Structure 1
């Protein structure tokens, strides 16, 4: 898919995800202090290996966009806005999209990852343990090693058949926990 079309789809999905909320962040916007707790509740299968420490916990709201492929729904991409879990104003501090990738809207740092372990949950998208494949920039996502997608709600592909070039964006929410090497 051409980059311009992909960006247009992601922008549309983010607009749906935020239900009209304007996402405006300026360079230098200070993020609220986030004190990461030493632990998040996760299934044993999604445990992060020893030698890593929790550095950030974010609430995510967005969509899982599916496209029709051979009569079945296939995940095209996620599109979500992340905010600090304890920020009552829900100010966006990162965007999550296809890759999967998370990009800080505060400092431009980013992390790409690949799923290592899937933990199914009834009626929602599964919880995941992801391993970072690349990071760039200096900031919140510098040196991230692992990511957990927890507390998932929604986002499941329709159970109905599809035809042609159908696409659908299904709302979801989750908690993303980010880990870096323990020092």
Structure 2
């Protein structure tokens, strides 16, 4: 597929799209999140340490954007919208972008994280276990301790050569599971 035909989305474009569909209430969706978070399947290498509890499971759709650096594609940033796992309307409740950071479009809370463990998968970006490095706000992402990126599909950098400062955005999807310290 030619670069000109590839889907190019930016974090700003995703934010604009999500802003147009902000949820007006969080009470019903908080209950929905709790019912959707009983369990997630993850490889043993990506298990969250004991003492943490699952608090949210979200489907993500977006892109992995790559930049041509010294003739090779290097990850520049992800850009994705997250919706509750069981929300068939896929209403955005969070944005995921460079950092990596996840920001709630419902309550403004946010979590930054760093990858601890990567579990490669053929033909798609790897699954990850991430540890939170900072949180902000009092909402859904307050006090998050760990994040799992699971069920990945797509998002792999092109295998073709590149020149100059070309950019390409490759569609991907994943499930993100968020954990907080147990009480």
Q: One fold, TM greater than 0.5?
A: yes
Q: Offset at 1:11?
A: 2.0
Q: Where in structure 2 are the equivalents of 1:79-118 lying within 5 Å?
A: 79-118=79-118
Q: What residue is the counterpart of 2:6 in the other structure? A: none
Q: What residue is the counterpart of 1:43 in the other structure? A: 43
Query: Is the 1:123–1:154 contact (alpha carbons within 8 Å) kept by the matching residues of 2?
Result: yes
Q: What residue is the counterpart of 1:147 in the other structure? A: 147
Q: Offset at 1:94?
A: 0.1
For 1:9 and 1:174, how far apart are their aligned partners in 2?
A: 18
For 1:26 and 1:149, how far apart are their aligned partners in 2?
A: 24
Query: Is the 2:132–2:146 contact (alpha carbons within 8 Å) kept by the matching residues of 1?
Result: yes
Q: How many residues are matched? A: 170
Which ranges of 4 or more aligned residues in structure 1 deviate by more than 4 Å? none
Q: What residue is the counterpart of 1:159 in the other structure? A: 159
| Cα distance change of structure 1 residues 27 and 173 upon mapping to structure 2, 3 Å threshold | closer
Q: What residue is the counterpart of 1:5 in the other structure? A: none
TM-score by length of 1: 0.88
SS at match of 1:92: coil
TM-score by length of 2: 0.88
List gaps (5 residues or longer) in structure 1: 1-7, 16-20
Q: Offset at 1:55?
A: 0.3
Q: What residue is the counterpart of 2:12 in the other structure? A: 11
For 1:26 and 1:63, how far apart are their aligned partners in 2?
A: 21
For 1:168 and 1:52, how far apart are their aligned partners in 2?
A: 37
List gaps (5 residues or longer) in structure 2: 1-8
